[in-house]
C-alpha cells in the first residue's frame, strides 16, 4: 500500500470518526432539545451556503485573483459559519428554557439528534470537498456527497423553484463533472507553475 492509499484511507475513515467523536463528546450535555435545534440550524445554514456561495466566490476571486480557485471553498464555509452563528444565536434567544422530556425519551432522542447533527455536518463537508483543491482524481472526494446533491436537486424542484425562471440545483446532473474539470485545471497549474494560486481561465462552475 503506497502513501497515497494510506492517506486516503485515513481521510475516508478518520474524518467521520473524528467528527462523530467531537460531536458526541462535546454536545451530549446539551440534551435532546438543544441538539435538535442545532440540527435545524445546521441544515438551514448549509442550504443558505450552497445557494449563495457562487456570488461571494466571484467577488473574492475578482478582488483577489491569485485565490481564484480557493475562493469557492472559502466562500461556502464562510457563509455557512456566519449563518450558523446567527441562526444558532436566534434560536438560543427564543428558547431560553430547555424543554424537558422523560428520561428514556431524553436519552434516546438526544442520541438520535446527535446522529442527525453528524449526518448534516458530514454531508455538508463532503459536498464542499468538490469545491476544494483536492486533486483531479474523482476518488479524492467521497462519492457519498452525491446523496447531498440529490437532496438539493429535490428541494429546489417543483413548487420550491423560482416562479420566474428554473433554479433547480444541478438540473442537468453535471455538478460533480464541472468541478472535477476545475480541479484538473488547478492541478495542471500546480504541475506547470508549482503553485496552488491560479491565474487564468478555468472551466466554469455551471454550463
For the chain, give the secondary structure using H, E and C: CCHHHHHHHHHHHHHHHHHHHHHHHHHHHHHHHHHHHHHHHHHHHHHHHHHHHHHHHHHHHHHCCCECCHHHHHHHHHHHHHHHHHHHHHHHHHCCCCCCCCHHHHHHHHHHHHHHHHHHHHHHHHHHHCCCCCCCCHHHCCCCHHHHHHHHHHHCCHHHCCCCCCCCCCCCCCHHHHHHHHHHHHHHHHHHHCCCCECCCCCCCCC
Predicted pLDDT at 196: 63
pLDDT of 114 reads 94
pLDDT at 202: 64
Q: What is the pTM for the complete model shown?
A: 0.77
The full set of domain ranges for the chain reads 3-193
Q: At 62, phi and psi to the nearest 5?
A: -70, -40
pLDDT in tens, the chain (207 residues): 556 666 666 766 777 888 889 999 998 888 898 899 999 999 889 888 887 888 888 888 788 777 777 888 899 999 999 999 999 889 888 877 777 788 888 899 999 999 999 988 888 888 888 777 766 554 444 444 456 666 666 666 655 454 445 566 766 666 777 777 777 777 777 777 776 666 666 666 665
Looking at residue 207, what is its pLDDT?
56
CA angle (111, 112, 115) in 5-degree steps: 85
pLDDT given at position 112:
93
Amino acid at each position: 500500500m503506497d502513501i497515497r492509499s494510506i492517506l486516503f484511507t485515513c481521510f475516508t475513515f478518520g474524518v467521520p470518526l473524528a467528527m462523530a467523536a467531537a460531536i458526541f463528546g462535546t454536545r451530549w450535555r446539551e440534551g435532546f432539545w438543544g441538539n435538535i435545534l442545532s440540527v435545524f440550524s445546521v441544515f438551514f445554514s448549509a442550504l443558505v451556503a450552497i445557494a449563495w456561495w457562487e456570488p461571494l466566490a466571484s467577488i473574492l476571486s475578482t478582488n483577489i485573483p491569485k485565490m481564484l480557485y480557493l475562493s469557492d471553498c472559502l466562500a461556502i464555509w464562510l457563509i455557512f459559519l456566519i449563518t450558523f452563528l446567527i441562526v444558532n444565536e436566534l434560536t438560543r434567544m427564543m428558547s431560553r428554557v430547555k424543554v424537558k422530556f422523560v428520561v428514556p425519551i431524553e436519552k434516546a432522542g438526544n442520541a438520535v439528534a446527535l446522529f442527525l447533527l453528524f449526518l448534516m455536518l458530514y454531508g455538508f463537508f463532503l459536498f464542499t470537498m468538490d469545491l476544494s483543491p483536492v486533486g483531479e482524481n474523482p476518488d479524492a472526494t467521497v462519492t457519498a456527497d452525491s446523496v447531498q446533491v440529490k437532496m438539493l436537486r429535490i428541494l429546489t424542484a417543483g413548487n420550491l423553484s423560482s416562479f420566474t425562471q428554473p433554479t433547480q440545483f444541478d438540473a442537468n446532473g453535471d455538478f460533480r463533472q464541472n468541478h472535477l474539470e476545475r480541479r484538473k485545471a488547478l492541478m495542471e497549474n500546480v504541475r506547470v507553475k508549482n503553485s496552488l494560486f491560479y491565474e487564468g481561465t478555468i472551466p466554469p462552475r455551471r454550463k
